[in-house]
Structure 1
Amino acid sequence: MNRQGRGSTGPGRPSALPEHGYEPPAPVRELPDGRLLVAFHGDDDRRRVFDVSKLPLPGWHQTLAAAVAQRTGPDGGLRTFSAATTGWGSLGRLVRFLGSLPQPPLDPAQLTPAHLQAFYDHRAKTTPTTALHDMNEVRLLFALPALRDRVSTEVLDHIQRRLPAPRDAKAPATGTGPSPSGIGTKRLTTGFSDGELARLLAALRADAAKIRDRVRAGEGLLRRYRADPGALNEQDQGLGQALEWMAAPGQLPPPPGAEPHPFSSDRRELAGNLFLTLRDLAPLMMLAAALSERNGETIKELPVRHRVLEDRAVELVIVKRRRGARRWFETVTWEIGAPGRELHTPGGFYLLMLELTARSRERCGSPHLWCVWRDGQAARLGAADDYIAPFQDSLSCTAILPTAWAANRLRPLLADPQPAAVGPDSPSPTEPTGGLPLQVSFNRIKTSMEVRRTKRMGGHLPSAAKSNSMPVLFRNYLSGDPVITAWAEEVLGEALLDAEQAARQAHERAVQAAGGGPRVLPGPVDTTVMETSGLDPETARQVADGELDTGWTACVDLDQHPLTGETCQVTFLACFHCGNCLVTRDHLPRLLALLDALTQRRRELPEDVWWPRYGPAWVAVRQDILAKFTPAELQHAQADKPHDALLDLVENPWELP
């Protein structure tokens, strides 16, 4: 049975099964020459054979081969080429270390916790960045039945311990300035600023347009040559003849008028008329990452198989790694967009890449999108021309150098000027530094696109989470990014300003309704001063003696509220809007304690709860009362501030945070 694709199964149509008598190949093979091999076939359709017999300690080989087969098998955790290769490297380092000991464990039963601790200490001293990863991989390997039953329980208990991540305190400091090679520089992981991202996208689209126009011009010349060679001029006839030769057998003739030379740049330029080259990959793949908002690994593994939905969108299955077993594949739908907008929509750009890579794919037969021509002589293949899918065997077999592309363009991309740090010998800030090449990477592009989408969604993480979960989106992309931090500070500042304005307006409305707000008497508490402010002598005496004090101020007429004309029954926090409220210098310590209590309550409550409840009183104390006292009076009151602000006494218990 060979049914494939959608609709191949259903009610009454069982799934395809192998032929009768099928026996799956054994994952572990022992060759006649004594070699012990473990075959790996990953979910990414990449293969590798691990030769266990090349490791030291022959007494471990059978057990290690069975463990590696389980760890890289269908139910194991290492199901991609890169993951299996990394796990094999950790295992090889452990076995080689054990084999180098004066008294090595000759079989798994002789392994002790001291051996594992010595291996961890050795890795932590030599390569601290991978020591913890090696121990985690060893722990997962020893948890498999093939090894778990062969080692002692002390070893199993030791390997399950939680190890601290090693820190290299003597790591040399690296500069922050980028270089085309990326050597001796600190790698940036944050996203681009708005200006940097705009310049980067413009450069990517410009280079992609040049590549598109170059290939389409070559295809157009080839069609005209095939239709009527005599209608072309002499130069176009020579180039058309070369393109006809390239299109048929796939081998490049010497460029017209040039000496044959397998390493000549003219051969690459001639091939570029019909094929993409390795140099074209950097701008095209980065633009694909920006338009699709996917990481570089997903872009490298884009498939050819797709569906066009009503000429509006493209549906395809992409690979999203590190999402758990059997969760690496995701069906996405990308917009095609209007004709001529291929460089602005992910679906349109995907179809454009299918067009530009069609001839290379026809010769290499790869199911992957990225297929290019390369110089076979320069690659030491013994042939002049070669057509490959550069990421079919491994995602790292072909180097893509985005920073080198940005620095080596005719118009290099530069980073935003950074203000120079002010040192102890510099009394004033210096001019911003500029002219540094822009550090470009797939990670920074992905981070920038995640930040922009989060901003478009108003910071709502459930809506902004597209290819990652909300915790991963925040922890790995948004947290610490300067663009999202500045935007969040701006939004928060605007929100706080709006809340303060709302509290001010609420205070002003309450003041107008309740008799004009509190009366403030700065200076010494004197009955004569209070009488001149409109108080009768008896009320002035009571205020001076503190007989009319309430929670934080004084009330000159408790029996007649200005708004209701009846006995006051409102909370003490409403006194700051009332015309019966009187504030003297003696009330300052309690008012300052109240502000401290409100500040503490602000840390405990959400802003949208704190501002309506306490904002009007806070505005009244800060702007209408304290502003009328001198700094000396406030400083003296600060020293006499009571510990208890009595804020809990004016609220219902169920309203407390």
Structure 2
Amino acid sequence: MDLTDMPCAPITHMLLAALFERASLGGPIATPGSVGVSVGKIKLFVRYLAGHPSPPIGVTDLERQHLDGFEDRLREEHGSEKTFAAVSVLAIVVLLKAASAIGFPLASDLRARLTWNINGDWGSNRTYEPYTFDIWDSVRTAAAEAQRKTVRSRHAIATEVWGGPAKDLLEEVIATGKIAGDGFARAKNCGGAQRIYRKAFILKQDLVPFILRLAMETGWEPDVIRGLRADCLVNESNGTVGVLTRKRRRHGSEHKEVRVKDGSLSTPGGIIRAVITLTASARATLGSDMLWLGHQQFGSLGVYKFDDTKSLFRQFVTDYGLTDPDGGPLKLNLVRIRKTYKSLRYRALNGDMNDFPNGHSADVAARNYANVETNRDLHEQTISDGILDFLTATDGQAKPSNPSPQPATSHPTDTWLSTCVNIYESPYGEIGKPCKAVPWMCFACPNSVSSPHKLPAQLAFMKLAHDQRHQLSAEVWNARYGYAWTHLAREIIPRFSAEEIAEAKLIAGHDPANGFLTIAMGVEV
């Protein structure tokens, strides 16, 4: 990066020194992209100074009028309603503060000006409106169908047994991540290069429905989803799991554990588990701990670059015939998906701003997620109800604002292996107190309900119990696991379809090609 031709050399040098300080190890600027953005703001500022009626010669000549004039010029050129002026001025203010901190002498009026960031409003960029709820439902349905299709195809591919030259070539591709040399000629005799790659790794296109579904179930920012690692799941408990996330813009608290539901492919935990399994071979080949890895069709093996998402999303839209309200191809955008998720949550809370912000200030949440067109009917209905309540109250017939409380009712509770209808009415303990029985006793309990989202845990339990056969005596094993094992094999597992079982195996983190489990009494799952 050559800045030797920049005007106002002393000031350019000062700002670059401040940038170097902020980009040093442990500093707030941690990526090459962020450094590049800052350099762009420096160029913009010093070029403005060079054309100023009173251009500063040295560092001490830089005054408040120069910074204020820079802001005025940007607002004039780009509009006060946009954020460009505010962001650019803020970047220079931050660098000037850093320069002062490392010893550069600044004029007294400029130091006083640095006590605030900008003179005008912050402004706002073009905002994305949420999708309509019909479009949301169609995308969600398509993503769920695509997930199931991927699970079925990967299961079928994994169970194919290859031998001879095809097996040798496959092992080379898994080891190196690519076909090289005479491999292409050999691949022609094995069904083609794409067949080899598809057997070895998941395609990046097949990850699209998992990305969409995860965004729709969590409302996470695109950079949070992009930054997930293969070891991000921690602290499983009662049908939930912690996800270690990283949001670069959350300065000072970038890393955060977020608690989400865990179970089937419709839950965030289940989606992430499935992707961990699907991308395991790519991860081993690349030696990477990133979550989103795959092979680009007619391309190479690597990290799923979210910059390429547009083309992959377009293919997904074409495959499932998704259209916008005007009948044209739908433009999928993760930011709009997040907006729609927030809008749905806002409506579910009936516009309660006390609970809605969740990671934002109330002002930001209201401006970016609540004050959108899809919520207009909710706001208008709220106003209408308020007026009606007022008119009713003035007639002396106001309805009570706090109706009489209803008797508390018990809600189903997720346990490790099933859902408990009423954890406070256990046949194994005192009524009114939480059940303390071990999880596998649930299968003998009338309060227990088994559903597809608990199937991964049940299959994992059966594997655990199977492994324990070699460590416990037959008498101890039967006393501890016998009833649960037999009940699962005869009564519960047969109720689920082969497709549901394949999904559950994937989420449980097992290779479908392994035969996986052999259930007691000769029943194979």
| 1:15-58 CA-partner distances (Å, limit 9, x unpaired) | xxxxxxxxxxxxxxxxxxxxxxxxxxxxxxxxxxx776675544
1:88 alignment partner in structure 2: 39
1:139-178 equivalent positions in 2, closer than 5 A: 139-144=93-98, 145-146=100-101, 149-157=104-112, 162-164=118-120
Report what 2:378 is aligned to: 487
Provide the C-alpha distance between the structure 1 equivalents of 2:176 and 2:30, rounded to a whole number of angstroms: 38
Q: Deviations over 1:46-74 (max 9, x none)?
A: xxxx7766755443455334311343457
Partner of 2:425: none
Distance in 2, Cα, partners of 1:245 & 1:311: 42
Greater RCO structure (CA 8 Å; 6+ sep): 2
* 1:361–1:371 contact (8 Å) kept in structure 2: yes
Structure number with greater Rg is 1
2:331 maps to which residue? 439
2:351 counterpart residue number = 459
Q: Which residue of 2 is the match for residue 289 of structure 1?
A: 215
Shift of 1:90: 1.0
Aligned partners of 1:113 and 1:158 also within 8 Å: yes
Q: Which residue of 1 aligns with 2:20?
A: 69
User: Which residue type is aligned with residue 64 of structure 1?
Assistant: L
Query: Structure 1 residues 369, 167: CA separation in 2 closer, same or farther (over 3 Å shift)?
Result: closer
Map 1:193-208 → 2, pairs under 5 A = 193-208=132-147
TM-score by length of 1: 0.51
Q: Which moved more, 1:111-120 or 1:328-337?
A: 111-120
User: Which deviates the most, 313-322 or 104-113?
Assistant: 104-113
Contact 1:255 1:267 in 2 (8 A): no
Alignment of 1:214-363 (within 5 A): 214-221=153-160, 224-225=161-162, 229=163, 242-252=169-179, 253-254=183-184, 258=188, 267-268=193-194, 270-305=196-231, 306-307=233-234, 309=236, 312-323=239-250, 325-337=251-263, 341-342=264-265, 344-363=266-285
User: Contact 2:41/2:91 (CA < 8 Å) preserved in 1?
Assistant: yes
Partner of 1:571: none
Q: Which residue of 1 is the match for residue 481 of structure 2?
A: none
Deviations 1:318-345 (A, max 9, x none): 113433x3212211222221xxx31x10
Residues 1:611 and 2:503 are matched in the alignment: no
2:242 counterpart SS class: strand
Aligned residue for 2:213, secondary structure, equals helix
Q: Confirm or deny: 8 A CA contact 1:313 1:335 kept in the other structure.
A: yes
> Per the alignment, do residues 368 and 315 of structure 1 end up closer, same or farther by CA in structure 2, a change over 3 Å counting?
same
CA contact under 8 A between 1:56 and 1:96: conserved in structure 2? yes
Residue deviations 1:426-482, cap 9 Å, x none?
Answer: xxxxxxxx3133232111111111222233334333334434344432221111241
Q: Secondary structure at the match of 1:192?
A: coil
Question: Is residue 399 of structure 1 aligned with residue 290 of structure 2?
Answer: no
Cα distance, 1:60–1:51 mapped onto 2, change above 3 Å:
same
Deviation digits for residues 303-324 of structure 1 (CA, Å, limit 9, x no counterpart): 222325258433231113433x
SS at match of 1:413: coil
Between the two proteins, the alignment pairs up a number of residues equal to 389
Q: Distance in 1 between matches of 2:173 and 2:34?
A: 39
Q: Could you say which residue in structure 1 is the equivalent of 2:320?
A: 411
Unaligned runs of 5+ in 1: 1-49, 169-185, 230-236, 379-384, 417-433, 500-606, 618-657
Match of 1:561 in 2: none
Code of the residue aligned with 1:412 in structure 2: it is G
Task: Classify 1:161/1:284 alpha carbon distance in 2 versus 1 (closer, same or farther; 3 Å).
Answer: closer
- The 1:364–1:55 alpha-carbon spacing in structure 2 relative to 1, beyond 3 Å, is farther
- Alignment-mate amino acid for residue 468 of structure 1: H
SS at 2:60 equivalent: helix
Offset, 1:275: 1.9
1:554-584 per-residue CA deviation (whole Å, 9 max, x = no partner) reads xxxxxxxxxxxxxxxxxxxxxxxxxxxxxxx
Checking the alignment, whether the CA contact within 8 Å between 2:245 and 2:255 is kept in structure 1 is yes
Alpha-carbon distance between aligned partners in 1 of 2:379 and 2:121, rounded to the nearest angstrom: 32
Q: Distance in 2 between matches of 1:51 and 1:440?
A: 39
Counterpart Cα distance in 2 of 1:217 and 1:284:
19
* Residues in 2 aligned to 1:194 and 1:266: alpha-carbon distance in whole angstroms: 43
Aligned partners of 1:255 and 1:270 also within 8 Å: no
Cα-Cα RMSD: 4.0
Separation of aligned partners in 2, 1:256 and 1:313: 47
- Residue 270 of structure 1 deviates from its aligned partner by 4.2
| 3-state SS, counterpart of residue 410 of structure 1 | helix
In structure 1, how many angstroms separate the alpha carbons of the residues matched to 2:111 and 2:64?
9
Cα drift, residue 490 of structure 1: 4.2
* Deviation (angstroms), 1:138: 1.1
Aligned 8 A contact 1:451 1:477 in 2: yes
Is the Cα contact below 8 Å between 1:53 and 1:61 reproduced in 2? no
Task: Quote the offset at 1:268 in angstroms.
Answer: 4.8
Q: How far off is 1:367 after superposition?
A: 2.6
> Residue by residue, what CA displacement relative to the aligned partner does 1:174-205 show, whole Å, maximum 9, x if unpaired?
xxxxxxxxxxxx97612122211100111222
Are residue 368 (structure 1) and residue 290 (structure 2) matched? yes
1:190/1:444 contact within 8 Å kept: yes
Question: Which aligned pairs between 1:620-631 and structure 2 lie closer than 5 A?
Answer: none
Q: Deviations over 1:475-510 (max 9, x none)?
A: 21111241x22234446656766x5xxxxxxxxxxx
Counterparts of 2:352 and 2:185 in 1: how far apart (Å)?
57
TM-score of the aligned structures, taking structure 2 as reference length: 0.63
Structure 2 CA distance for aligned equivalents of residues 308 and 453 of structure 1: 26
